[in-house]
Amino acid sequence: MAAQEHFTYRHFPNGECHILNSKNERQYDLEEQEKIDQKKFEIENKYIEERFPNTNFTISISLKKLKEKLTDQKEIIVKQHFFCSCWGCQDVNNRPPNKYFIIQNDNMTIENVIDELIKQNLTTDCDHQFLEGFDKETDIQYSMFFGS
């Protein structure tokens, strides 16, 4: 098995960042990819901030994924559960009861589902503030996945 090469990032006061290999050689191709990745990240974050200005949580879902259709159903139930370390994962008596949101929409894309959740005042109620996706539980019920 070949050893993985080690790279170093060197930041400069003018904002430039050089990526150097273990021989201290500049890696222009990696730097260009880093710029592309950073620009994509900025574009996606700007879209999310403008599209969802009044959220009580952070949306950590890619722009491509936001546009995907969650289901063809016109009405679904989205469950929010509190099975996390904030509430004691194993202590059922310590955590809040599940919350359920009924979502009605003719075009059930992930971003439209999030719109409906925001209208229904979704709050995270714990330290897990990053909405990372939805898990299908039944044909009409989905649970939200929050990370920290």
Are residues 116 and 90 part of one domain? yes
17 and 90 in a single domain? The answer is no
Shared domain for 63 and 46, answered yes or no, is no
- The structure's pTM equals 0.74
Distance CA 48, CA 57 (A): 12
Counted domains in the chain: 2
Residue 34, helix vs strand vs coil: helix
22-78 pLDDT, tens digit each: 888 888 777 787 877 888 888 888 999 999 998 889 999 988 999 999 999 999 999
Does the CA dihedral 141-139-144-43 come out positive or negative?
A: negative
**Residue range(s) defining the domain that contains residue 19:** 8-51
Residues 70, 30 within the same domain: no
Beta strand pairing status for 130-136 and 141-147?
A: antiparallel
Residue with tokens 């259709």, as numbered in its chain? 69
- Are 135 and 88 found together in one domain? yes
Domain-embedded: residue 1: no
Is residue 2 one of the residues assigned to a domain?
Answer: no
Read off the pLDDT of each residue in 96-120 and give the average, rounded to a whole number.
95
Q: Is the C-alpha dihedral spanning 23, 27, 31, 33 positive or negative?
A: negative
Q: Which residues on neighbouring strands pair with residue 79, listed in sequence order?
A: 100, 143
